[in-house]
Amino acid sequence: MNNKFSFIANIKKEDIHKDLAKKVRYEINKYLLSIDCFSLMQSTDSLIFGGAVRDSIVGLEIHDLDIVVLPQAFQTISKRLSDAGFKKIEKYSLDIISLYNGISQIHEPINWVKDSACVQLIRPRQTALELSKGKNAKNILYDFVSNVDISCCAVSFFPNETLLEHLPGAIEQCLYKTFHIIKSATLYNESRIIIRSQKLTRRGWTEKELKVKEATINICTYCVNHPSNCGHIAINNSCDNHEEELPF
């Protein structure tokens, strides 16, 4: 039986991503209003990820915008937000703050607010050490997003209209409004996962049983997003063949 997403089976994954990326950029810019997301993030080591991307894909209202940033990007984007009239607010929303309580892998998020828009800058810990050891900046960002604890949040967007999924099927899950919980993920926290999963189900999402091995987190970002070009899955986020082919 056909459904409204039956076209997916007949179109290359890369083409679906391109079409959805345009939609995501439109929805995010509509949410930000006073600054284009490309101008905000241009030439920085940063990614929009999680709920805003997930909700834009399926056409739901954005509640806040999470951007994972490396140290220099944090400084640059903070200045651009300030120049665009956003104000730094320490305790913007207890609801938003609670989502990152107990997550030792990040510093406390920084909230920038203008009117109804809230941009939350997420700073992973240990990035300076990883960079000093020669780890690729893109891979630090990809590793972070691939370790989210709700599968449909393993999606990211860079405003040159690059839409990525960091777990197999994450974008399709967004389209069908389904998700599963990944208890082995680095960002998993038992107390907050209950709140987050309940919020999703109240908004019409359906939790599914995890059918893939949890060991497949941290697979190669290139391989996940270009299956027609690659016949294998590589552990640890990037494989040697694709180190220079990652999208931004």
pLDDT tens digit string along 66-120?
999 999 999 999 999 999 999 998 765 555 555 665 677 888 889 999 999 999 9
Q: What pLDDT was estimated at residue 127?
A: 82
First to last CA, the chain: 38
Predicted pLDDT at 70: 94
- Residues 9-214: name the CATH superfamily: Beta Polymerase, domain 2 (3.30.460.10)
Q: Are 156 and 51 in contact (CB under 8 A)?
A: no
List the domain boundaries for the chain.
9-214
Q: Is this structure's pTM higher than 0.85?
A: no
Task: Judge contact between 193 and 181, C-beta under 8 A.
Answer: yes
Q: At what angle do helices 13-32 and 51-58 cross, to 10 degrees?
A: 110
Nearest to 146 by CA among 217, 90, 82: 217
Identify which has the larger pLDDT, 132 or 94. 132
CA distance 21 to 15: 10
Would you give the DSSP letter of residue 232? -
